Structure 1
Amino acid sequence: MSAEKLRLDKYLWAIRIFKTRTQAAAACDTGKVKMNGAAVKAARAVGIGDVYEIKTEAKRWKIEVTGLLANRVQYTEAIKYYVDVTPEDDQQFNQRIAASFHTGKRPSKIGRPTKKERRDLDDFMQED
């Protein structure tokens, strides 16, 4: 595949916006990737200078393509192939989402009792 004809889903995967190419293609199909306000398909050819608006679960992006990258590389290398031109208000929105992100871990000493607490509770209930 030549560098001049690079699919959008492959490019978004290569620059590490999406973890898998399937996720990148699905985002294109569901209208979460836009160019000039219009949804674009996953097979669209990427060109240098194109500006895309991308919505992921964690963040809203607005990127400008500065180079074509066909294969996935390290993050430090991948960021050289686009410029993040996300407006200031969307960046604040992204920070609010990150601040409220739930990891799934329960806070310490809240919730289920420890084994010792459970034994003490059982002993207390048995005394009646």
Structure 2
Amino acid sequence: MEELRIDKWLWAARFYKTRSLAQAAVEAGQVKVGGDRVKPSRSVRPGDILQIRAGEQDWEVLVRGLSAQRGPAVFARTLYDETPQGLKRRLEALELRKQNVDPSAHIKGRPTKHDRRQLEKLKSFSPH
């Protein structure tokens, strides 16, 4: 196998959980080959450099191997090598996100009855 559709490769390399998510990411411009936007049917070959936006992380990888089947994560990691400058940028961004944690990130959904009562106490509190 000398070439493989980019959406299949992204799925097999475990950047996206499903092939349809990989296809949607390629169509949205979150995956570039050599800096250019591509279509999901674009073929990748060993030696291609991909820029991938998966979740909150930006990856820059060099394609090392091809696989049309999704295997274990250990095998998927052998399909690519991360470029040194891409690794440096990704780790810097990760450290920056750790330093700037959103205080409301742990809150999910509507307030509970207990949360609402605490908010009411704070609102009705009078310092004088």
1:113 aligns with 2:106: no
- Residues 88-107 of structure 1: matches in 2 within 5 Å? 88-97=88-97, 100=101, 102=105
- Residues 37-48 of structure 1: matches in 2 within 5 Å? 37-48=35-46
Match of 1:50 among 48, 51, 70: 48
- 8 Å Cα contact 1:52/1:64 also seen in 2: yes
- 8 Å Cα contact 2:3/2:66 also seen in 1: no
Higher strand share: 2
* Runs of 4 or more consecutive aligned structure 1 residues displaced over 2 Å after TM superposition: 94-106, 111-114
- Residues 4-23 of structure 1: matches in 2 within 5 Å? 4-23=2-21
- 8 Å Cα contact 1:58/1:97 also seen in 2: no
Report how far residue 10 of structure 1 moved. 0.4
Report how far residue 92 of structure 1 moved. 1.1
Identical aligned residues as a percent? 32
Q: TM-score, normalised by structure 2?
A: 0.73
- 90-99 or 59-68: bigger deviation: 90-99
Q: How many residues align?
A: 112
Report how far residue 23 of structure 1 moved. 0.9
Q: CA separation of 1:103/1:59 partners in 2, compared to 1, >3 Å: closer, same or farther?
A: farther
Extract unaligned runs of 5+ from structure 2: 118-128
Q: What is the RMSD computed on CA atoms of the aligned residues?
A: 2.8
Q: CA separation of 1:70/1:91 partners in 2, compared to 1, >3 Å: closer, same or farther?
A: same
Q: What do residues 16-72 of structure 1 show as CA deviations (whole Å, max 9, x unaligned)?
A: 001111111111101111122110111111100000001122210001001111100
Report the counterpart of residue 76 of structure 2 in structure 1: 78
